[in-house]
Structure 1
Amino acid sequence: MRSAILFLLLSTGALAAPAGDNARAQSAQTQEELKSLHSQIGELKKKLASNESNRKEAADALKESETAISDANRVLTDLTQKRQLTEAQLARLEADIAQTRIHIRASQQRLGDLLNTRYRAGDLEAWKLLLNQQDPNEVSRTLGYYRYLVDAQQRFAARLQGQLNELSRLSDEIRERSAELKALARAKAQQKEELEGEQQAHATLVRQLSRQIDSQRNEIEKLAADEKRLGQLVERLNAIIKEQERKAAIARAREAARQKQLAEQQARLAAQQAKAAAAAAARAKAAGKPAPTPLPTPAPQVVRNNEQVPDASQAGQAFAALKGRLKLPVRGEIINRFGSQRAEGTSWKGIMLRATSGQPVHAVASGRVVFADWLRGFGNMIIVDHGGGYLSLYSGCESLLKPVGENIRAGDAIATTGNSGGMADSGLYFEIRQNGRPLDPMAWAGQ
């Protein structure tokens, strides 16, 4: 299209050059060429608009499929937890039933022994009491005591039997509930498989349309639009967070004071080391020896594979205090770094970690979820606000496990790895931003 416009400008400029009849002939010929060119440009625009519209529809269908898969994974996780809880309750009830049965058998044994004794003694026990010339009132009390023991044993056995019946009823209800949860989980798993099939079909269509568009328009325009869209999203989120940042001003001031004190301590330590080195050099010079060579500072290692992920040990810490100690959110191979050139001519604003799909994505620090949705160009994306203007962004996810507004701790699983949004590799795209400005995650990660 640009070459066509350039041709149009050159052709228009050429109209003024010729003179006389020759100029008019050339002008008429140029007008015809311009009409043909305008017609070609119009047809090209129509094709481009049609492909853009088709790709938008396919991308929206891909969004729905990937969002539905994320929701299905979250429901399956909840069902698994509920089923585990139900099975634990069932185990406790079965233990209670077994214990109650033991009590019933013991009570029945005692009652049987008492009845057997009474049967063998029969009425002779009463006659013995009377023939022994004991007080009739005492005999009556003794016989009443025997009857009371029998009645008490019978009531106790009946109460235990009632408890056993109630426990059995609860056990049956929990078994029914467990069976329902298993059936629901199987249905959700089947639904997830169907959704994944639709996702593959939509993703294939999106790729086909993208290849057609690449032949009509430079891919850098799409990437610039995606980057602008993400920038606008970050600006909106910063506007929402601004009020919260006002409340956190005191905390930031305290952190700044602590950082200043730490910097002063480091400066004093550096001065002491320099002073000690100068003194050692002076002593060596006085002794006629060469000055000791200071130890070289070890160069930072280049991380190619990340093996450590965040955990609860860094929960609650201010994000700024984690610089140099931050752990990357997933285990995997770092295949693209901040600032490196992309094939389309732009540069990476974060890092890309390659990992198999379905791996847990851990929050790098404590904070609150401010965005959890599908965004064109980035797929399923979750953004966490850590305060102080710091945001961490996780995109290309297969599933988003935390909703907007939920408070999380460092190390919490907030998503799973994937390749949503049309990513070429399965894994995670990760960014850190402060007040909307991208930061190099590797400058924050502990080596």
Structure 2
Amino acid sequence: MRELKDIGEALADKQQRLAQLKEQTALARVELHAHRLDLAAQVRISYSLGRQDPIKLLLNLDDIADVNRSLSYQMLSQQRRLRQVSDTKQSLLKLGELKRRAAATTAEFSALRSRRQQSLDELESRKAERAELVEALKNKLEAGATELELLRDNESALVALLEDLRQELSEMPMPAAQTKPFAELRGILSWPTAGDTLNRFGTPRPEGNLKWQGVLIGAQAGAPVHSVSHGRVAFADWLRGFGLLLIIDHGDGYMSLYGRNASLFKEVGEWVNTGEQISVVAAADVDGRSALYFEIRRDGIPQNPAKWCKQPSLASG
């Protein structure tokens, strides 16, 4: 899901920031230690000089040049001690600020980890719910319901959903087109994911008196799925028979459908660009195949994807 992806990126950023702060803190400690050593040396020199009467020292010097050098040395020593005190103070302040920032970043990192765990728990919960649905489907088949009846129910549910979406979207007109109308993209679209099609559009399904309304594209589990064109997400949820399904409205009655996903990266109402990743392919389904289910429809009527997508496909013909 998109939230997990965003959290993962934020965690990586915070982890990198923590590593940088750790390195900066180590350098600040070394710098502080050096300042302390230098300051201690200056204090020892000052103490040594302080035990001697400065006037007596000057009177013991015979040459005026020696007197000047001695005075200059004492002035420089005093200035250096003051500098070392200031540098040590600055190093302490810098180290304190680095510790504060590291503590704040650590707290943010912990909060992000908690959010990620919560999202993972929610995802596992949804997976468990889908597993229960699959198990219920198997039980229904074993109880005597034919697979053909289930497929007809699934197709009817999809048709009803598309009709509802078409009516809702007709009340929300598309903004002024910034790209070519979908109708002008016939024959030049890219397929949504890499892989060979496993069936031909419009041919009978093996289960009985039903025809394929779209194509199955064989792909590895976790393979990225991309939008074939610019549009607005009209549906993003679980639908029986299609798994996690995402439907994109391209305007003028055209829609593209992407089923059998493991995770959806977009939500209803979001806009997507051509080629933008919208989901990833799910693992092997009830029939034991890992594949994306893909359809193109106009006003609810299925279109042959092979006549719209430019790459060679077994769906053509």
Which of residues 29, 32, 40 in structure 2 aligns to 1:104? 32
Q: 1:184 to 1:406 in 2, by over 3 A?
A: closer
* Residue of structure 1 equivalent to 2:212: 348
Which of residues 148, 158, 161 in structure 2 aligns to 1:219? 148
Higher helix share: 1
* Residue of structure 2 equivalent to 1:84: 12
* Residue of structure 2 equivalent to 1:238: 166
Describe the SS at the equivalent of 1:347: coil
Which of residues 230, 252, 255 in structure 2 aligns to 1:391? 255
8 A Cα contact 1:370 1:384, kept in partner: yes
Alpha-carbon deviations, 1:325-348, whole Å to 9, x = none?
322122233112211112321221
* Residue of structure 1 equivalent to 2:274: 410
Describe the SS at the equivalent of 1:331: coil
- Structure 1 or 2, whichever has the larger Rg, is 1
Describe the SS at the equivalent of 2:192: coil
* Residue of structure 2 equivalent to 1:207: 138
The 2-side partners of 1:246 and 1:182 are apart by 39
Describe the SS at the equivalent of 2:198: strand
The 2-side partners of 1:87 and 1:225 are apart by 49
The 1-side partners of 2:284 and 2:115 are apart by 26
* TM-score when normalising by structure 1: 0.57
8 A Cα contact 2:220 2:283, kept in partner: no
**Offset, 1:411:** 2.9
Alpha-carbon deviations, 1:19-74, whole Å to 9, x = none?
xxxxxxxxxxxxxxxxxxxxxxxxxxxxxxxxxxxxxxxxxxxxxxxxxxxxxx55
Describe the SS at the equivalent of 1:352: strand
The 1-side partners of 2:295 and 2:266 are apart by 18
* TM-score when normalising by structure 2: 0.76
- Of 421-430 and 347-356, deviating more is 421-430
Q: 1:164 to 1:438 in 2, by over 3 A?
A: same
**Offset, 1:381:** 0.8
Alignment of 1:168 with 2:99, yes or no, is yes
Describe the SS at the equivalent of 1:416: strand
8 A Cα contact 1:317 1:365, kept in partner: no
* Residue of structure 1 equivalent to 2:222: 358
Q: 1:121 to 1:143 in 2, by over 3 A?
A: closer
* Residue of structure 1 equivalent to 2:237: 373
List gaps (5 residues or longer) in structure 1.
1-72, 253-315
8 A Cα contact 2:233 2:268, kept in partner: yes
Aligned length: 303
The 1-side partners of 2:307 and 2:84 are apart by 77
The 2-side partners of 1:201 and 1:246 are apart by 38
The 2-side partners of 1:88 and 1:326 are apart by 39
Alignment of 1:335 with 2:264, yes or no, is no
Describe the SS at the equivalent of 1:326: coil
Say what the alpha-carbon RMSD is for the aligned residues: 3.8
Which of residues 159, 165, 183 in structure 1 aligns to 2:90? 159
The 1-side partners of 2:38 and 2:180 are apart by 64
Q: 1:438 to 1:202 in 2, by over 3 A?
A: closer
Alignment of 1:58-97 (within 5 A): 73-74=1-2, 76-97=4-25
Alpha-carbon deviations, 1:278-307, whole Å to 9, x = none?
xxxxxxxxxxxxxxxxxxxxxxxxxxxxxx
Describe the SS at the equivalent of 2:143: helix
Alpha-carbon deviations, 1:230-264, whole Å to 9, x = none?
2333233333433554643xx48xxxxxxxxxxxx
* Residue of structure 2 equivalent to 1:433: 297
**Offset, 1:202:** 3.9
* Residue of structure 1 equivalent to 2:315: none
* Residue of structure 2 equivalent to 1:32: none
Q: 1:245 to 1:175 in 2, by over 3 A?
A: closer
Alignment of 1:197-346 (within 5 A): 199-214=130-145, 219=148, 222-242=150-170, 245=173, 247-248=175-176, 251=177, 319-343=182-206, 344-346=208-210
**Offset, 1:223:** 3.8
**Offset, 1:129:** 8.4
The 2-side partners of 1:129 and 1:401 are apart by 82
8 A Cα contact 2:254 2:298, kept in partner: yes
**Offset, 1:391:** 1.7
Describe the SS at the equivalent of 1:170: helix
The 2-side partners of 1:105 and 1:127 are apart by 35
Describe the SS at the equivalent of 1:208: helix
**Offset, 1:164:** 0.9
